[in-house]
Amino acid sequence: MKRVVASVLSLPLSLGSTRATTIDVPGDYALIQDAIIATSDGDTVLVAPGTYFESEISLLGRGIVMMGTDPDDQAVVQSTVIDAQTMGIVLRADQGEGAATRIEGLTLTRGRGTGGGVYCEGTSPTIDRCLILRNSSTGQTWNYCGGIYCVGGAPSVLRSYLVENSADWGGAIRISDGSTAKVSDCAFIGNSVRFDGAGIDVFEAEPSIEGCVFLDNSSGYGGAIYWAKSPNGTIRNSVFAGNSANWGGAIYISVSNPTIQNCLFRGNNANWGGAVHVFSGSPEINYCTMNENSARDAGGAIYAWGTGSNVAVTGSILWNDTPREIRVRLGNHVSCTYSDIQRGRSGEGNIDADPLFTEYLEWTQVLAPGSPCIDAGPLGEQDGIPWPGYYPNGPAADMGAYGGEGAAAWLLAR
């Protein structure tokens, strides 16, 4: 028996398994596609700084990591470039890739086609700390998505920059066909489309969007986000600034019921619905701040029209939006409770008082000491954050983007 045990213990640990390998580009292979072909699950393709002129790179369903040499260094990310030269899309993840397939620390640029930067169909890869730059979808019958197209599956896009991508629908990201994609801690800057969702276009899907910044994006419907025929999903702890559209400067909602929580909307503009435009849906807007948004015709903050829109606003601040904070067309309804709304609005706990906005470190639209919105949120709810002793703020929920339990997710994380 002892001999048997000793024999087993003496077997090599690698028996029955394959040791993960790191393949260097350009050291081992000049082309990234050739390096991927040489991989097995668990391997890493390590791409050195430089510009690689390749397109239609397939990840081949492999559970691999394809990464730059230092994803945490923005200078390295920006200098590690896969340039498709508008000859096709940059990357394909459409052969069953799962969460073990990771793309990290790379710049993907000048892809052209449906999902110009990355095309994911029925797959769930992770895209982390990447720069998705100036990709486009043009010259086709349906010009869907310049940046990352998520058709079904559950891909994750994390800690990435999506900049100046363009299409007809979905400039930076399009999420459709039942996808439960996660988009977290990303920045969407200067993306544009002719029609829907310059930042993110959601259609018949249920994504979660959290901790993102949407800046200076422009479209026809939903300057930052277009959300249609998607019953659920969440938008949390995000900032919308300087976005523009004809309808819904920041967000356009159609036949959908997303939850929008702890978000800041500032300086967005549209013809109708400077911050949010709702066409037939029942979204919840909780603990949000809408300030200095504008509409040419109606609804500086929120515009509800169509048939049967039923918008619930709770614990929020709507202040100094023009021409008026809320416009509701006949047959629609916007209910507000425990909110500070300029010029007033009926509803339990509502007030009409200057919120006394100030700035603190990188935070804007913070409530200054003495603000009437401090501790004035929904009864029984708390902020969930230990305010410093020098800031007079009790445990009860504040109104606005930094109030309620959800505020801790972004205040304590930064």
Q: What is the 3-state secondary structure (H, E, C) of 132-195?
A: EECCECCCCCCCECCCEEEECCCCEEECCEEECCEEEECCCEEEECCCCCEEECCEEECCEEEE
The answer to whether residue 54 scores a pLDDT higher than 60 is yes
Is the Cβ–Cβ distance between 82 and 59 less than 8 Å?
no
The answer to whether residue 374 scores a pLDDT higher than 80 is yes
Candidates 54, 68, 57, 55; CA nearest to 97 is: 57
Strand, helix or coil for residue 112? strand
**Please, which residues have CB within 8 angstroms of residue 237's CB and are 6 or more apart in sequence?**
210, 211, 261, 262, 263, 406, 407, 409, 410
- The 10s digit of each residue's pLDDT in 193-227 is 999 999 999 999 999 999 999 999 999 999 999 99
Is the Cβ–Cβ distance between 89 and 111 less than 8 Å?
yes
369 secondary structure, DSSP code: T
**Please, which residues have CB within 8 angstroms of residue 2's CB and are 6 or more apart in sequence?**
none
The whole model's pTM is what?
0.94
Query: Residue range 239-268: average pLDDT?
Result: 97
Give dist(CA 391, CA 315) in Å, integer.
20
Give dist(CA 342, CA 335) in Å, integer.
15
Is the Cβ–Cβ distance between 213 and 238 less than 8 Å?
yes
How far is residue 253 CA from its own chain's centroid? 15
Is the Cβ–Cβ distance between 206 and 231 less than 8 Å?
yes
Confidence (pLDDT) at 411: 66
Confidence (pLDDT) at 414: 52
Q: Residue 251: what residue type?
A: I
The answer to whether residue 353 scores a pLDDT higher than 90 is yes
Least trusted range by pLDDT, from 46-50, 249-253, 330-334, 406-410: 406-410
Which is it for the CA torsion 133, 160, 265, 227, positive or negative?
A: positive
Quickly state the pLDDT bin for 12 (edges 50, 70, 90).
very low
Give dist(CA 280, CA 257) in Å, integer.
9
Confidence (pLDDT) at 88: 96
Strand, helix or coil for residue 6? helix
Is the Cβ–Cβ distance between 70 and 93 less than 8 Å?
no
Give dist(CA 31, CA 232) in Å, integer.
42
Q: What is the 3-state secondary structure (H, E, C) of 74-102?
A: HHHHHCEEEECCCCCCCEEECCCCCCCCE
